């Protein structure tokens, strides 16, 4: 069976806004800040694993400089800096697969760096959350093979 991945089928919603204008290359990454379990080995070689309740994580998006989402993310960052009003929900979904990532409370870590060159450049935004829920799944069948 043939499976298919299509980057156009990956959608992201930030504070109710559909993200558009992704840069070329790696445009979206989702990761937890720490492992779910930590392994400790004693002097005698016995092992203990300790469960971490830290579900914090980061979502990094890279946008074209002309993306209208830069304005929205800048506004969220500025609202947070001024009066802590930049906390929002975020959702990432592969519409052609089973992967789903979400957070009820997320914020912009810092304003994106701005670079100006002869060519259109990109803007990298880091979104952080205290509770990242993730399901990393496969893609659905495109056709029987």
pLDDT in tens, 18-77: 999 999 999 999 999 999 999 999 999 999 999 999 999 999 999 999 999 999 999 999
The neighbour count for residue 67, using CB atoms within 10 Å, is: 19
How far CA 74 is from CA of 2, 8, 43, in Å, comes to 41, 24, 51
Q: Provide the pLDDT confidence category of residue 143 given band limits of 50, 70 and 90.
A: low
**Helix, strand, or coil (residue 96):** coil
* Domains, the chain, ordered by start: 2-34+55-143 (2.30.110)
Let me know: does 81 contact 88? Beta carbons within 8 Å: no
Counting Cβ atoms within 10 Å, is residue 94 exposed (0-12), middle (13-18) or buried (19+)? buried
Hey, which bits of 42-111 come out as E strands?
47-51, 57-64, 88-94, 100-108
What does the DSSP 8-state code read for residue 18? E
Q: Provide the pLDDT confidence category of residue 119 given band limits of 50, 70 and 90.
A: confident
H helices of 51-136, where? 69-83
Query: For residue 24, what pLDDT is reported?
Result: 94
The neighbour count for residue 62, using CB atoms within 10 Å, is: 18
Q: What percent of the chain has pLDDT over 90?
A: 83
H helices of the chain, where? 69-83
Q: Which pair of structure tokens corresponds to residue 55?
A: 């579900």
Cα of first residue to Cα of last residue in the chain, in angstroms, is 5
């Amino acid at each position: 069976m043939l499976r298919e991945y299509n980057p156009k089928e990956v959608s992201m919603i930030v504070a109710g806004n559909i993200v558009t204008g992704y840069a070329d290359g790696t445009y979206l990454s989702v990761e937890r800040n720490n492992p779910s379990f930590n392994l400790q080995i004693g002097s005698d070689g016995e092992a203990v694993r300790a469960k971490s309740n830290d579900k914090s994580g980061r979502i990094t998006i890279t946008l074209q400089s002309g993306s209208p989402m830069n304005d929205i993310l800048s506004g969220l960052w500025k609202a947070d800096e001024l009066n802590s009003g930049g906390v929002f929900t975020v959702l990432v979904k592969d519409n052609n697969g089973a992967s789903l990532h979400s957070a009820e409370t997320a914020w912009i870590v810092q304003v994106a760096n701005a670079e100006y060159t002869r060519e259109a450049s990109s803007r990298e935004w880091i979104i952080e959350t205290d509770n990242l829920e993730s399901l990393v799944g496969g893609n659905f069948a495109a056709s029987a093979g």
